[in-house]
Chains A and B, each alone.
Chain A
Amino acid sequence: MGGFIHYFSSHFQTLGQEFWPLLVGGLANGFLYGMVAVGYTLVYGVLRLINFAHSEVFMAGGFASFFVMQHLVGTSSPNGISSVLYILIGILVGGLTGSLIAMAIERVAYRPLRKRNSPKLAYLISAIGASYFLFNFAGKEFGRYSVSMAQPYTNHPLFTIFGAGVQMYDIIIFIAGALMLFGLDRLVTLTKLGRSIRAVAQDAETASLMGVNIDRTIALTFMIGGALGGAAGFLYGMNVGVVYTMGFTPALKAFTAAVLGGIGNLRGAVLGGLILGTMESFSVAFLAPSYIDVTAFGILVLVLLVRPTGIMGERLGRSA
């Protein structure tokens, strides 16, 4: 018992010095999870199914932007305005690829099942099939080894909060993630397109009576979720590098975040992502780096056992 307390108190001391960097890093990761998590939650909202092929949307966004960066940046080390430009291009390319792949998944793996009124299990199997096809195809085409992306910016501590350096990378993700998620929230709450997505989520048949084209709305929902997931693939790949299996773990964590926040709830997905990212980050300090995935999936099991509707509950079709 004494040893146990000692173990924790010594960790609390390191925590004192590392609190801010851990928090900043955790929140940055959290934004990435949030960007992928909204893809799960949006699709769940309109179709009541988990798009387990969403991990490949993330991967596709990573690869597409990898090739564009390789071409644009090459071995140069851009900074200043050209960095901003390259990052914007990366987000755009990742997002565009993500939305195209997501729409293709909907068209090929889900729509035929929907037209036949297939049972939910068929969707799950179809999703796994689509996922395996896509990442194996990427592995075959682009190689099986992880490669680093040409860096569109130079990573360095930008400024310090309470003595802790905040890295450029974290700031990029903060800004990009926050802007995109805020934009999504406004899109769903205020625009006609957003209203049609919420209407389909709440009552698809009645939505069609109002003149909403359900097929089109579902395709657009995949597209929007795919855009954020693909852009996240770029932001992640920019730091970690790209490989054909890169989608698996981050996407499963984003799914955890979506469940944690309340599947079907957009703001919940973002909140879940931020909580998950932060908890992971602190678990590295409290326990050991190797516990990072254990923490994430421990949370998933716990939420499913204790509160399956998540923190904010399932408020389908509500903007939040």
Chain B
Amino acid sequence: MLKVENAIVRYGAIEALHAISFEVNQGEVVALLGANGAGKSTTLRMLSGLHSAWSGSVTFEGVDITNEKAHDMVSRGIGLVPEGRRIFPQMTVEENLEMGAFARSGSFHDEIEEQYAKFPILKERRKQLGANLSGGEQQMLAISRALMGKPRLLLLDEPSMGLAPMIIEQIFEIIGQIREAGTTVFVVEQNATQALQIADRGYVMENGKIVFSDSAKNLLVDPRVRAVYLGESA
């Protein structure tokens, strides 16, 4: 479904990603793991079109999207739940959801109700401003906002960041449900154990490179994963 080949991303003179390659198949949950600064967020920025690859290629459903702009990605079928939620602070919960459907034409009232059924707390807070939600509520809103765009591939950037353990459990449960509903998920996480519990496969990044990959089951017990997080060489 998604195929990245030898992608190099540069910020000015600095090369942030060194020719990385990976793929995500239809229906999978794939986790991208790594320590802070390993290049995980940069990878997501590249996939969502916020920062194009300098060389290499990104293909989605057989179409080359290497140089596609961020605002065209939603209609391509790629949705992103950004790091830190990035809820529109001065818009209500409902307006945030409406923004999620921005790229679509026609009525999306039913989808909003669908999201409310999934997240009853959002319905309760529908008229409240995004800024006044708790972190967990914001994360749920960020996820349902992305789902409003009807993505076939959902990208999640550090969904557990800054949340209480109980809320994290809930968020990952939701991610599991999204996958069951047929959406392919690519999740970037520092919380490796949590991510691997719901993932099929995982890639491990270090210093802008993908150092190894395996099934989630194997990675959970792989001592190299632990080493990467502790900053020891793998």
Q: Which residues on A are within 8 Å of B, measured CB to CB? A: 192, 195-196, 198-199, 202-203, 205-214, 315-318
* A199 to B100 alpha-carbon distance, docked (Å): 11
Q: Say yes or no: A212 contacts B71, CB within 8 Å.
A: yes
Name the B residues within 8 Å of A202 (CB-CB): 88-91
**Which of B74-82, B184-192, B195-203, B209-217 has 4 or more CB atoms under 8 Å from chain A?**
B74-82
Cβ contacts B64-97/A at 8 Å (1 or 0 each): 0000011111110000101000101111000100
Q: Say yes or no: A208 contacts B70, CB within 8 Å.
A: yes
Identity of the chain A residue whose Cβ is nearest the Cβ of B74 in the assembled complex: A211
B43 within 8 A of A: no
A–B complex contacts, Cβ < 8 Å, 17 sampled: A195-B91, A196-B102, A198-B90, A199-B91, A199-B99, A199-B102, A202-B90, A202-B91, A205-B50, A205-B82, A206-B86, A207-B99, A209-B50, A209-B70, A209-B86, A210-B74, A210-B99
B159 within 8 A of A: no
Q: A207-B88, A208-B69, A211-B102 are in contact. List 18 more A-B contacts (CB 8 A).
A: A195-B102, A199-B99, A202-B88, A202-B90, A203-B88, A207-B99, A208-B70, A208-B71, A209-B50, A209-B73, A209-B74, A210-B102, A210-B145, A211-B72, A211-B74, A211-B75, A315-B90, A318-B90
Which of A196, A205, A209 has the most CB atoms of chain B within a 10 A radius of its CB? Answer: A209
B136 within 8 A of A: no
Name the B residues within 8 Å of A211 (CB-CB): 71-75, 102-103, 149
Q: Say yes or no: B73 contacts A195, CB within 8 Å.
A: no
Q: Say yes or no: B71 contacts A214, CB within 8 Å.
A: yes
Q: Say yes or no: B102 contacts A192, CB within 8 Å.
A: yes
Q: Which residues on B are within 8 Å of A, measured CB to CB? A: 48-50, 69-75, 80, 82, 86, 88-91, 95, 98-100, 102-103, 145, 149
Q: Say yes or no: B80 contacts A199, CB within 8 Å.
A: no
Q: Say yes or no: A195 contacts B98, CB within 8 Å.
A: yes
Name the B residues within 8 Å of A212 (CB-CB): 71, 99, 102
* A316 to B50 alpha-carbon distance, docked (Å): 23
Identity of the chain B residue whose Cβ is nearest the Cβ of A209 in the assembled complex: B80
Which of B99, B100, B103, B149 has the most CB atoms of chain A within a 10 A radius of its CB? Answer: B99
Shortest Cβ distance from residue B112 to the other chain A in the assembled complex, whole angstroms: 14
Shortest Cβ distance from residue A196 to the other chain B in the assembled complex, whole angstroms: 7
Name the A residues within 8 Å of B49 (CB-CB): 208
Shortest Cβ distance from residue A232 to the other chain B in the assembled complex, whole angstroms: 27
* A316 to B90 alpha-carbon distance, docked (Å): 8
Q: Say yes or no: B86 contacts A203, CB within 8 Å.
A: yes
Name the A residues within 8 Å of B91 (CB-CB): 195, 198-199, 202, 317
* A33 to B79 alpha-carbon distance, docked (Å): 43
Name the B residues within 8 Å of A208 (CB-CB): 49-50, 69-71
